Amino acid sequence: MQNIASTHAFRKREDASGNGEGETSGVSEVSRPIRKTGEPGRFDLSKEAAAERAALKADSDHQEREGDLPLWFAFQGPDIATRLGAGVLSTKAQKAINRLVPAIVSAGECGRSLSISRSKTWWAGTQRYHGTGYQAIRDGLDFLASHGWICMEVPPPAGPIGWQTTLTPSLALYEAVQGVALHACPLELIIMKDQHKRLMGYRDDRDTSRLRREVRQSQEFLSSANINLARVQAVAIKQSGGLYVFEGVNRAGERTQTFVDLARPWSHRVIHNNGDWRQGGRIYLPVQNLPRSVRRQLEIDGEPVTEPDFSEQHVRMLYARVGHPMPQGRAYVLDNFRWPDWVQSDKRRTILKRTILIMVNASTTHAAAGAVERVIYDLCPYSMLRRSEARSLARAVIKAMQEKHHAISEFICSGEGLRLQRQDRDIMLRVLKDTRDRGIAAIPVHDSVMCSASQADRVREIMDKHGAPYGCKVSDPQ
């Protein structure tokens, strides 16, 4: 049980004078929900509501506001619905409100709105993931909006996800949840997504039950291990309700913000893709989303962490599958490749390294070329002025990689990456079981494992034991 007021506190909104004495009584006209107009998919705010939303967007220490956060249920507050006067609703709708409000407020305090679909099709068969159904969610949202606790709007769709409803907490809601005691929501550990990356339901069988049991054992072991997050939390630029915001720099040298749920840092989730248990299956933990520089702030058993990894894992697995030796040198190195002058020398290695990863995971050569072209744009801003040259460079790099790796050409640009992820998940589960049996706290990060510095050699030995049959090789210590 955690108390928001004392730990993750939903902070009181300050007025213009900064004295923390914002509006506290009732629901003001300013916090009334937006009004729907005759134009489909469009919502208009009243003048007062627009001013409030602008103020909310400008909050969070004047940090630039970026995209909305997807819906996630980290906490639930058993008395939130009662506080907001929702006792007249069904028990299921009240439960939905108890889960929705902490997510909406946490996102708002970190300077973001929450994004959610109100389509019945989207919610079909997903109750195992959210703990509540479509009608309860809809009734809960309608109540919150009609009583002025949240602002809802439907901006134009961005990308393939289609229309999404954006939820922003009103000032009155911030005041209403002060001091609410929350506890973590139970999570479904095994996730299946369809071809459109939407959650889909499934029936449990012997395999899913065994997988869930193994994942839960790893999760419980890490939860009880001596892992110190204090230094990680100290470098966060914002936090609310267990949601922490970290600042980092991407490969293009641009400043970015990463949102990480540290309320349950060791919560494992295994995600399969395309409705196929043979595709995907990697293990995801919130701490994996920490910028690499921040992950190094973790301490295990009072020691700094190190991160042994499998070198060029998927490429080596493909060569092992066809029984052909790897080419000399690194998989992504191209000897005698002619680069245009506008590609800086320090960016070339990154372009090649990301190209081979893209080619293993892309479903077609055309898709791979588009992805490599975007990498070039990100790393070489000047290429935006040379779009045709950047496109030609992407194709040339891919062609050179195909020639170098002709022995595994049947798997390149064929979507094989998702099937390889299932295999590297199997490897990682064996590594985690072995480290757990030896009492070693090991945190999986896809193709690497974080552990204390004193256990690094033992962890490398375990990784080599389980990776070698698949052709994997543990990288040498730095």
446-470 b/e with 16+ CB inside 10 Å = b?
A: bbbbbbbeebbeebbebbeebbeeb
**What's 296's DSSP letter?**
T
pTM to 2 decimals?
A: 0.78
CB 8 within 8 A of CB 241: yes
pLDDT tens per residue, range 143-200: 999 999 999 887 666 555 557 889 999 999 988 988 887 777 777 899 999 988 888 8
Q: pLDDT value at position 386? A: 79
**Between β-strands 114-116 and 69-70, what pairing exists: parallel, antiparallel or unpaired?**
parallel
Mapping DSSP to helix (H, G, I), strand (E, B) and coil, where does residue 55 land?
A: helix
Mapping DSSP to helix (H, G, I), strand (E, B) and coil, where does residue 33 land?
A: coil
Q: E strand or H helix at 166, and its extent?
A: strand 165-169
| Banded model confidence at residue 377, pLDDT cuts 50, 70, 90 | confident
> Identity (one letter) of the amino acid at 413?
C
| 460 Cβ contact partners less than 8 Å away, ≥ 6 residues apart | 308, 474, 477
Strand partners, 43: 36
**What's 309's DSSP letter?**
B
DSSP line for 341-363: TTS-HHHHHHHHHHHHHHHHH-S
pLDDT above 90: residue 450: yes
> Identity (one letter) of the amino acid at 468?
A
pLDDT tens per residue, range 97-133: 999 998 898 888 888 888 888 788 888 888 888 888 8
CB 241 within 8 A of CB 181: no
